[in-house]
Structure 1
Amino acid sequence: MLLVFSFSYKVEAFDYSSNLKYDLSAVPQQWDSGNLPTKHSTAQYRLISCNSTSDTENGACPIEGVYGPKISRSSPINTWGQIKLSLHEKTTHQNIVVDIGALRWSIGCDDRYPWDINQCKLVNTFPSIIVGMDSNTLKNIPAGIWEGHLILNQRDYTSPTNIVEQVGLKLTVEVTDSSKQLIYFPAFPTSDPRVDLNLNYRPGSRTNGAVSGTASLDMCLYDGGTSAKLVQLQFQDESGGLIGKDSSLFTVYRDGADKNKVENTINYKLQVLNPTTGGHDEVLNGKAFVWKDANARNIQRNVVLPGIPGVSLCLPAPLTFITPAFNYAEKTTGHYTGVLKVIYSISTH
């Protein structure tokens, strides 16, 4: 005769949520979730654990509970029970794993314990779970909006394989890096960009010596993950003081020559792709312009920026350099160069 015994536990499951927001210029000393109450008393169900020791998706830690030393209320988070938890960036879908500390305490027992309230009175009081991250963990989370879901099990200490409750924490960490706003040129990731105006002779034009050209430069604007509401750009060069020159144009000069002589200068126009409209804006030399709701069309793209870990989002704003036709016979032969300065600022309001 075969006897089969089975035991059934009704496992309760419920979620808490916590939102943390900070800038990398002012990282908190630590963050903790506050008390996450459980519904089963310390009299029997005093252990907490993870679902896996290796899978970090919902937290990796001991799976049947472990006994830990008593720690004081002010003990640093790195002395708590340690959990590895995956966080996922909301837009770039990048994944990272962070260190989470966990402990338990109960009313009537002022001390804290990792995992198990093993020295508290085993009475019918409902213990709480607290989880947290210290500054070493927080400062290494890149800019972005990161989401994770930690699940901890409350177990029967007399039979640790029995789970009676699952406590979940839906965690959102929004990190900005306001000091890292930058203009990124993908073709020149670590150096100042150089642009050839691509001047070409145009035979058959009204003036047989006509020369003109068009060139492009990919440019992307990174706001430090601050979700900028307003972008301001200004382009300028050193040609503003030239007598008789159209102030809206930009200029390159023959190397080593008198910059005030027309025969030593070549003017060009500048356009930038407007991310809010998809059209091209004419840029005026030295005059700032503003884009409101710059990412309203949701066209930010994933890039890897120098000096910034992981994948970042930047706003595409490619440039077009247009050289109107001119008679090359009126220019002095030589090599022409110029410097264009781009000034970028943002506002989050």
Structure 2
Amino acid sequence: MNFDRSLLPGGIRLLAERTLLAYDGDPAQGFGQLHFTCNSSQNPATGQCPTADTGENGSYVSRIQLQFTELRSGMVTSLAVEGYLERADSGLVCHNYWQFDRRPLWTSYSTPCPRTPASGTAASLFISDAELSRLVAGRWVGRLELTLRSSAASRVASFDFNFQITITDYDAVSIYFPEFPQTTPNVDLNLSYDPLAQTVGGRKPLDMCLYDGLGSQSEYLGLTVTDTSGRPPGPLGYSLWHDDGGSSDDQRLDYMIELEHAGVRRRMANGVEEQLRGIDTAKLRLVLLPGMTQPVFCVPTPLLLTTPRVPITEQRAGGYEGQLKVELRLPTTRP
């Protein structure tokens, strides 16, 4: 199944409410004591719950912890599969056929009724939206394996459920700067003065990570860096301008921007989109994006801002600043 985190599907019903597992008017068949068991009471790989009949006289909704794995990143998360049993009597002496209590999935217990004991069992099994909301964007798989048993612990049937869930989160598509997690980046270009050569220049690495809202599985990501300082930049594509607001050459410091992706550094031309491919095989980083409660994987794409050294005598003394806009575009075709 596919859905976006902005519109959850209303849960997943594995067994519709009061799905009849078995019924026979003869209580001796044992269908009134049917119950489920898991393969393990410790490991949620295929469902974690009791491996034998508990026989408990309980009335509550059961929770089976089930492991889901995101294929791209290998991230593992356990969700609760909820469910319960309902018993059907062989007559109307004690109930209107259906007993009142919802029993745990793993108990053979039924409410005693002297003349018409339980002769059948129904089950309900589901994953709620509250649980599904714990899965971040990506392609998730899981497998639930349950064994249906009689009161004598003999195996009656196997219930196996395979999950393949593709989740998107396009409302959360982000360009993330780890140095500035909650604010607009205000970057110092690390300009320094060389007293021997009497030049000024510098290099500033800027950590950046791209989140595509699909668990980093897009065909490509389109990235554009644009100088938005309001004046035509110099020949390197990007410029800082003196605080006085002039536009002469001695009031402009030029710099260039390079982006690293898949081990290759590429020059970013001003206002020109660079398509980054191989996203589905790129190295990932686990981050907690602003406004999100669960960590997600993004693609590291660090920037390097380089200001070539220029003679200090050619520049007007004072402060310089500029503005950049970084834009991320996703492919038109989406899952």
The alignment partner of 2:131 has SS state of helix
Q: Does 1:152 align with 2:139?
A: no
List runs of 5+ in structure 1 lacking aligned partners: 1-19, 70-78
2:209 matched residue in structure 1:
220
Q: 1:265 to 1:302 in 2, by over 3 A?
A: same
Aligned to 1:134: 128
Q: Tell whether 2:185 aligns with 1:193.
A: yes
2:9 is equivalent to residue 28 of structure 1: yes
Q: CA RMSD in A?
A: 3.7
Distance in 2, Cα, partners of 1:288 & 1:101: 47
Structure 2 residue runs of 5 or longer lacking an equivalent are: 91-96, 112-116
Contact 2:221 2:279 in 1 (8 A): no
Secondary structure at the counterpart of residue 171 of structure 1 = strand
Amino acid at match of 1:194: N
On the 8 A contact 2:256/2:306 being kept in 1, the answer is: yes
For residues 231 and 317 of structure 2, what CA distance do their matches in structure 1 show? 23
Q: 1:95 is matched by which residue type in structure 2?
A: V
Q: CA deviation at 1:34?
A: 5.3
Which residue pairs with 1:101 in the alignment?
82
Residue 89 of structure 1: which of 49, 54, 70 is its match? 70
Q: Distance in 2 between matches of 1:320 and 1:265?
A: 19
What is the aligned partner in structure 1 of residue 247 from structure 2? 260
TM superposition shift of 1:86? 2.9
- Measured in 2, the distance between the counterparts of 1:240 and 1:294 equals 34
For 2:7, the aligned partner's letter is: A
Residue of structure 1 in register with 2:93 after alignment: none
Cα deviation, residue 145, structure 1 = 2.9
Equivalent position of 2:270 in the other structure: 285
Instruction: Return the offset for 1:288.
Output: 2.4
Q: How does 1:3-22 map to 2 (within 5 A)?
A: 20-22=1-3
Contact 2:220–2:279 (8 Å) recurs in 1: no
Between the two proteins, what is the percent identity of the paired residues? 25
TM-score, structure 1 as length reference: 0.72
1:287-341 CA distances to partner (integer Å, 9 max, x unpaired)? 22323x3415432233333332333211121111111232211211112222211
For the residues of structure 2 that align with 1:140 and 1:311, how far apart are their CA atoms?
A: 10
- Counterpart of 1:249 (choices 214, 221, 237) is 237
User: Which residue number corresponds to residue 285 of structure 2?
Assistant: 301
Alpha carbons 2:241, 2:247 under 8 Å: kept: no
Moved more, 43-52 or 228-237: 43-52
